[in-house]
Amino acid sequence: MEKLVRQFYAWRGYIVRGNVRVGALTHGGWAGELDIVAHHPHSGHLIHLEPSIDAHTWEERERRFRRKFEAGRRYVHAEVFPWLDPATPLEQVAILVSATRRELGGGRVIAIDEFMETVREAVIRRGPMCRSAIPEEYDLLRTLQLALCGYRRVLV
């Protein structure tokens, strides 16, 4: 899931960092790891995404995601993208199996199916591969393009 999210944002023109360790501790190790942080240099949009297919309780998720999102707020501007203005707003999103709650740990929640619908729509808009192939570096998106749009004609 993380690879697809990273590829989707990179394909859309974002500078993407994945599995970023932040907050070096004096005794070794790190304060945390951020799954995906992306910045769009033209729009200025800055987003921290934490995809998960866990089966934890909402209470456990609240604890885990609060810790992740707090680390994001603390370290994204300082360590991940230090050249950004510290006042740049940071959107934080958890991508989960279900989204019966819309807020978690200080971030927004979307369901995996919602994210996949966004990806599907963007890939279908691109059309058949023979006319406008998604670059090879985005192998997951390119595979979706072939499955959804075909090589010469739209399949769905």
Percentage of the chain with pLDDT > 90?
90
- Give the pLDDT mean for 50-60: 92
Beta-carbon count within 10 A of 132 CB: 11
- Answer whether residue 155 shows pLDDT above 70: no
pLDDT score of 156 = 57
pLDDT score of 77 = 97
Token pair recorded at residue 66: 């609060």
Element (H, E) at 47: strand 46-51
Give the chain's domains with CATH numbers.
Answer: 2-111 (3.40.1350.10)
Bridge partners (DSSP) listed for residue 110: 95
By CB neighbour count within 10 A (0-12 exposed, 13-18 middle, 19+ buried), where does 32 fall? middle
Q: Dump pLDDT digits (tens) for 86-143.
A: 999 999 999 999 888 999 999 999 999 999 999 999 999 999 999 999 999 999 999 9
Alpha-carbon gap, residue 110 to 97, rounded angstroms: 8
CB distance 151 to 130 below 8 Å: yes
- Mean pLDDT, the chain, whole residue set: 95
Identify the CA nearest to 109 among candidates 154, 152, 54, 146: 54
Local confidence band at 84 (pLDDT 50, 70, 90 cut-offs)? very high
